[in-house]
Amino acid sequence: MTATPGGTPTIVLVGHGMVGQRFLEALAERGLTATHRVVVLCEEPRPAYDRVQLTSYFSGRTPEELSMTDMAFIADHGIELYVGDPAETIDREARKVTARSGLVVDYDVLVLATGSYPFVPPVPNKDAEGCFVYRTIEDLLAIEAYAKSRATTGAVVGGGLLGLEAAGALKGLGLTSHIVEFAPRLMPVQVDDGGGAALLRTIEDMGLSVHTGVGTQEIVVGEDGAVTGMKLSDGSELATDLVVFSAGVRPRDQLARESGLTVGERGGIAVDEQCRTVNDPHVFAIGECALAADGRVYGLVAPGYEQAITVAATIAADESEQLSFTGADLSTKLKLLGVDVASFGDAHGTTEDCLDVVYSDSRSGLYKKLVIGRDGTLLGGILVGDAEAYGTLRAFTGSVPPVSPESLVLPAGAGESVQLGPSALPDEAIVCSCHNVSKGTIRGAVTEHSCTTVPEVKKCTKAGTGCGSCVKVLGQLVTAELEASGVEVDKGLCGCFSQTREELYEIVLALRINTYQDLLDRYGRDSARGGDGCEVCKPTVGSIIASLAPTIGASGYVLDGEQASLQDSNDHFLANLQKNGSYSVVPRIPGGEITPEGLIVIGEIARDFGLYTKITGGQRIDMFGARVEQLPLIWTRLVDAGFESGHAYGKSLRTVKSCVGQTWCRYGVQDSVRMAIDLELRYRGLRSPHKLKSAVSGCARECAEAQSKDFGIIATSNGWNLYVGGNGGATPRHADLLAQDLTDTELVRLIDRFLMFYIRTADRLERTSTWLDRIPGGLDHVRDVVVEDSLGICEELESLMTDHVAHYADEWATTINDPEKLARFVSFVNAPDTPDPVVGFVPERDQIKPDLPLLSIGHRPLEGSAQR
């Protein structure tokens, strides 16, 4: 069949990877999708996804979460996307492309974005069962399946970027992992000998075996044709039953070759500065398949994006935007196996007459090198183990920094170290290399386009939407520009306190302040001292005092004395207020495990008090419809039967969900129920900036959905993997892998540290997901603090948690055993025996639902509403 447009010019894009998707966006930005028919022929069975973050699949990100394609964008712009239907032939004379399905598309402009393919050394048995490449999601799915079904040891051929990521993935799958690199060091393109040595030490400390300076001579196979080992060039043999080839890539230029387009001697479709092929003005090439005018094939996404934008501007023929691609920044910043690695500019010092400034600490795995010109110009650098300054240093490349280069490589606090902030950058400095966004453009987004937040600046400029390495610098620039514009950036908690929540936490902890009024009188703003506070700071400080109660000498019971006046509405009555003025009661059911007798007790209570019952998503039983004066009566029966508060009303631990684990499930590898119960009982009642949810899955099938929780645990054959920062709420976020293959003791210790560090540093009403994205350094910083103890506070964090566990008391039991506390549980203070008349119910599906009276017009209260 032939697709022919009715006079509308047609643009055909062959390939739909990251660069192809950016090209489509560039077309849309210039209005070309409205004036042209756009057809995309994609070879893979799925549209464009984030290949840079490909390895994150093994830490929990799904293929859907890796997707970079908004199908609404495709539909809104009328783009015809054919997935799993690659172009097979090009007729340049007739200007037609034929796809595998037989589809024939006429084109006016053809853009080739066919990318690259993995290079597999021509060694015997390279195609044997158990041999894989590491390029697509389908490759990863195949590796995962094979590793789980029949492999115990894996070897990666290649010690470059993808090779190290692949080795980390194999280790995460539970395999003993080896890396074989022909060059004398790891990452030979990005780092020098010093950087490679620092990287090698750190990676070997993680339990991976590294073999450098040797090549693969043969893949050894068994009688069944499957891999059993590798023969290396030094005569040694490596036992392995899974091999991943990650020895570089080659441009996918076969389609161009077959159509007669010029390709380079070492591959790549030859293009000019507009990325137009040198012998056909109707055909362009972008990304890893293109041999640029400077004679290079660029394997990074940022140059591909620049090429995509160049081609879109050329097609638009916009005289105000005459772009050309003459080369690109090859700077990279990566987190490989948990190690920061970055290189920028002339990292290897190829410039004539340049000097090196080097700092090396082999004990800490740190290596920093700056390449400096004779005139003081920063030419490039390499950072291993600490790449915190990467964003600023890269932006200074090509200029003379305002301080000595020696001071820039020293760690913070060492000697004459200087930590340059982004405000020192010139306006022309490129902050986001993925989208070529300068500091001046970011400043303009704030001053000219009224952007006041990082998300607004991202949307306005696209800065920070690529690899993400510039986001921290972006945030610092936005704050600095707002302050420079005269906009007061008040970081205080509220009008009562000029301090942040984190600062107030530190004050309360350090000075053992155990009342809100004392804190307000001593540290409140002048206008607030001696006052009553506000609805923002009162519950915030109340939560801080509750979380530190045993340590600072305060009561852990939230309704004691002054604490009662600080609580939100739900905490006032230790139950969730519902829409008709009634309350719900949620007893704790650790791990979702409950006896038949326990079920009977809950059923009898619900029956006797006429409550609506529902099993929640957190494996608890919720009872709705209790009047306030009924709460202590219900709690008494629950406490007598061994139940306690499930804290469904508090900013605290709600539940630890669980699958049945190895006890019952044939796939389970650990006892997830026992672990869930242990964790819920340990962290029950822990007050925090926001609610906390957790789950424990007994295997990688993830039936407990642990990766959507604030802290989630997944069993492995070697122990437990700990994930943090997940959220299944209004803004879903998959949790990130913090540590893996932990023992029970190691797991609990890291969770203790993580939770107390979150409580210590999070903002008011900030979920762990938002906190993890907001806190400087993100997951890497949190890992440094709670796993590596980089701040030296882990002993204190563990001590705070120990105090909490030792002093926990059930709030329901405390209440029902104190007549004074029971006195607050009435609908009307002056008529304690009178039930609230507005609380009514009607039947529905053999239970009850609220009977809500009609709202009256104007500002009068609801008919019959209680005046408390």
User: Does the annotation flag 354 for ligand binding?
Assistant: no
- 667 and 736 inside one domain: yes
Of the candidates 8, 254, 318, 246, which has an alpha carbon nearest to the alpha carbon of residue 115?
Answer: 254
The predicted-structure confidence for 507-540, as pLDDT tens digits, reads as follows 999 999 999 999 999 999 887 888 888 888 999 9
- 12 and 96 inside one domain: yes
Give the model's pLDDT for residue 190.
81
List beta partners, residue 656. Answer: 694
pLDDT band at 612 (very low <50, low <70, confident <90, very high): very high
Q: Does the pLDDT of residue 556 top 90, yes or no?
A: no
- 695 and 709 inside one domain: yes
Give the model's pLDDT for residue 224.
92
- 19 and 77 inside one domain: yes
- 728 and 781 inside one domain: yes
- Please state the φ and ψ torsions of residue 610, each to the nearest 5 degrees: 65, 40
Q: Does the pLDDT of residue 21 top 70, yes or no?
A: yes
Of the candidates 563, 546, 586, 513, which has an alpha carbon nearest to the alpha carbon of residue 809?
Answer: 546
User: Does the annotation flag 703 for ligand binding?
Assistant: yes
- 96 and 149 inside one domain: no
List beta partners, residue 585. Answer: 623
Q: Is residue 165 part of a domain?
A: yes
Q: Does the pLDDT of residue 489 top 70, yes or no?
A: no
- 668 and 780 inside one domain: yes
CB count in 10 Å sphere of residue 70: 12
Give the model's pLDDT for residue 861.
31
- Which residue, 809, 835, 860, sits at the end of a domain? 809
For the chain, what is the domain count? 6
Q: Is residue 542 part of a domain?
A: yes
692: tokens are 């906390």
The predicted-structure confidence for 160-213, as pLDDT tens digits, reads as follows 888 888 898 898 888 999 999 999 988 888 888 888 888 888 888 778 899 999
- Please state the φ and ψ torsions of residue 695, each to the nearest 5 degrees: -160, 155
- Which residue, 402, 420, 438, sits at the end of a domain? 420
User: Does the annotation flag 665 for ligand binding?
Assistant: yes
pLDDT band at 831 (very low <50, low <70, confident <90, very high): low
Residue-number span of the structural domain to which 369 is assigned: 329-420
- Which residue, 232, 247, 262, sits at the end of a domain? 247
- Determine which helix (DSSP H) or strand (DSSP E) holds 198, and give its type and residue range: helix 193-205
pLDDT band at 3 (very low <50, low <70, confident <90, very high): very low
**Cα separation, 363 vs 582, whole angstroms:** 61
- 782 and 837 inside one domain: no
pLDDT band at 829 (very low <50, low <70, confident <90, very high): low
**Cα separation, 462 vs 435, whole angstroms:** 7
- 58 and 11 inside one domain: yes
Residue 8 CB partners (closer than 8 Å, separation 6+): 35, 36, 37
The predicted-structure confidence for 743-788, as pLDDT tens digits, reads as follows 999 999 999 999 999 999 999 889 998 898 888 878 889 999 999 9
How many CA within 13 A on the CB side of residue 715?
25
Q: Is residue 487 part of a domain?
A: no
Looking at residues 123-131, what average pLDDT do you find?
95
Residue type, 801: M
- 573 and 542 inside one domain: no
Q: Is residue 15 part of a domain?
A: yes
Q: Is residue 35 part of a domain?
A: yes
pLDDT band at 863 (very low <50, low <70, confident <90, very high): very low
Greater confidence (420 vs 640) lies with 640
Give the model's pLDDT for residue 858.
34
pLDDT band at 589 (very low <50, low <70, confident <90, very high): very high
Q: Is residue 428 part of a domain?
A: no
- 819 and 790 inside one domain: no
Greater confidence (832 vs 670) lies with 670
CB count in 10 Å sphere of residue 744: 14
Q: Is residue 591 part of a domain?
A: yes
**Cα separation, 699 vs 665, whole angstroms:** 10
Looking at residues 558-565, what average pLDDT do you find?
83
E strands, 460-605, are: 576-577, 583-585
Q: Does the pLDDT of residue 570 top 50, yes or no?
A: yes
User: Buried b / exposed e across 294-317, counting CB within 10 Å, b at 16+?
Assistant: eeebbbbbbbbbbbbbbbbbbbbe
pLDDT band at 558 (very low <50, low <70, confident <90, very high): confident
The predicted-structure confidence for 380-427, as pLDDT tens digits, reads as follows 888 888 777 787 788 788 888 877 777 777 765 444 545 566 667 777
pLDDT band at 560 (very low <50, low <70, confident <90, very high): confident
CATH number at residue 842: 3.30.70
**Burial status of residue 457 (CB atoms within 10 A of its CB: 0-12, 13-18, 19 or more):** buried
Q: What single DSSP character describes residue 226?
A: B
- 638 and 661 inside one domain: no
**Cα separation, 11 vs 20, whole angstroms:** 12
Looking at residues 419-439, what average pLDDT do you find?
74
pLDDT band at 860 (very low <50, low <70, confident <90, very high): very low
CATH number at residue 178: 3.50.50.60
Q: In what order do the strands lie in the sheet with 10-14?
A: 80-83, 37-42, 10-14, 109-112, 283-285
pLDDT band at 505 (very low <50, low <70, confident <90, very high): very high
Contact criterion met (CB below 8 Å) for 429 and 473? no
User: Which range among 83-92, 379-388, 484-493 shows the weakest confidence by mean pLDDT?
Assistant: 484-493
Residue 108 three-state SS = coil
Residue 865 three-state SS = coil
Give the model's pLDDT for residue 730.
61
**Cα separation, 608 vs 841, whole angstroms:** 15
Q: Does the pLDDT of residue 820 top 60, yes or no?
A: yes
Greater confidence (648 vs 412) lies with 648
List beta partners, residue 81. Answer: 40
Q: What is the dihedral of CA 315, 320, 326, 329, to 10 degrees?
A: -110
Give the model's pLDDT for residue 859.
32
**Cα separation, 191 vs 179, whole angstroms:** 17
789: tokens are 């103890």
Give the model's pLDDT for residue 419.
56
The predicted-structure confidence for 261-286, as pLDDT tens digits, reads as follows 999 998 999 999 999 999 999 999 99
Give the model's pLDDT for residue 699.
92
pLDDT band at 848 (very low <50, low <70, confident <90, very high): confident
